[in-house]
Amino acid sequence: MTPAVDLTLPDDWHLHLRDGARMQAVLPHTAQRFGRAIVMPNLAPPVRDTAAALAYRDRILAALPEGSDFNPLMTLYLTDATSQDDIDRAADSTHVVACKLYPAGATTNSDAGVTDIRKISRVLERMTRRDLPLLVHGEVTDPRIDVFDREAVFIDRILLPLREQLPDLRIVFEHITSSEAVRFVSEQDSHVAATITPQHLMLTRNDLLAGGLRPHNYCIPVLKSRNDRKLLIEAATGGDSRFFLGTDSAPHARSEKESACGCAGVYSAHAAIELYAEVFHAAGALDRLEAFASFHGPDFYRLPRNTLKIRLIREDWTVPASYDFGVDTLVPFRAGSQLKWQIEDA
Ligand code: NCD
Ligand code: ZN
């Protein structure tokens, strides 16, 4: 008999859907696998207020495959100019569930991000009062700091002081990549959680840099060492409710990745839960996949857990070399390679 795992329908707590024809191309992958997703606001121009978030949500709903019940959870992009009223409007809305802090210049479409966290201290106080979670891209942008150290330095310079200042602010440390981040989150109380991507559980920087430069494995925060990866796997599979699924699936056109200055982002929505299943299987922790993928996230966000179920079956399949992506194509994570799990009846 083919081994199978039954799971409560999972959610993706960190996702880039883009917009227009590109969104249309990638959205079915996520809608097929997940009940909900936290949709990142780093469009150009960014999603800065509730009106823009609700309009974006309507465009996502209109692009969904027929019959899909997928529910996009929206976020606001914090800038130096975000006001306390912006926070109130978001907290009063049903569909905006968090605000994202991009340090200006840290990653794709982050130029309008926050230039100095002190500029949003009133906004962060209001978020604390309204219990609106802060999602952080946790890397400093200081050019003197080595790219491999930017997450660890962010903890010391930004997160530790912020925890002292606003201990009741709920924070999601997004797409953690380092042993320092695992340790930091493990030492916090239930106000702090973290998402972990499939690529950071499966790859190290060797997969980016050794034996040729592999632009499709390039994402931010950049892949780290074997030891970092080991600790991330332990965190994800260890059952601690502060760690949950967030793919950071970040599609870019092939021509923008295979370039002299290639874009950061790994596209994983085509096989997201299947990739996590592979990691948990290899770690002997398949029985913990459901909590990581379907329980810890909604519990943190104080949303109901999904009730539908999906079944993963142990059957090899080959990831296509590319997918359509509007006018260009998109090279998915593990393109052309075999994956071990698939969704039954997908
Ligand atoms: C993301 C993107 O392309 O929007 N890229 C990435 O490498 N992760 C932005 C982000 O999450 O940092
Ligand atoms: Zn992201």
pLDDT in tens, 160-185: 999 999 999 999 999 999 999 999 99
Q: Are 114 and 123 in contact (CB under 8 A)?
A: no
Q: Are 53 and 74 in contact (CB under 8 A)?
A: yes
Sketch out the chain's domains with CATH numbers. 4-343 (3.20.20.140)
| % of the chain beyond a pLDDT of 70 | 99
Is the omega angle on the peptide bond into residue 133 within 30 degrees of 0, that is, cis?
no
Q: What is the mean pLDDT of the chain?
A: 97
Active-site pick, 142, 248, 287, 299? 248
What is the C-alpha to C-alpha distance for residues 265 and 263, in angstroms, rounded to an integer? Answer: 7
Handedness of CA 70, 73, 79, 81 (dihedral sign): positive
Q: Which of 147, 220, 259 to mutate to test the pocket of ligand 1 (most atoms within 8 A of CB)?
A: 220
pLDDT confidence of residue 327:
87
| % of the chain beyond a pLDDT of 90 | 97
Residue 264: DSSP 8-state: P
Distances (CA, A) of 101 to 15, 45, 76, 341: 15, 15, 9, 34
pLDDT in tens, 68-111: 999 999 999 999 999 999 999 999 999 999 999 999 998 888 99
pLDDT in tens, 1-13: 568 999 999 999 9
Q: Which helix (H) or strand (E) holds 209?
A: helix 206-209
Q: Residue 289: pLDDT above 70?
A: yes
| Ligand 1: nearest atom to the Cα of 197 | 8
Ligand 1, residues at Cβ distance < 6 Å: 16, 42, 107-108, 137, 219-220, 248, 250, 264-265
The model's pTM is 0.98
**Is-catalytic flag, 248?**
yes
Q: Residue 311: pLDDT above 60?
A: yes
Residue type, 188: Q
Beta bridge partners of 8: 309
What would the DSSP string read from start to end of 246-257? Answer: ---B----HHHH
Q: What values do phi and psi take at 247, rounded to 5?
A: -70, -30
Q: Which of 14, 135, 141, 219 to mutate to test the pocket of ligand 1 (most atoms within 8 A of CB)?
A: 219
Closest CA to 28 of 321, 310, 269, 345: 269
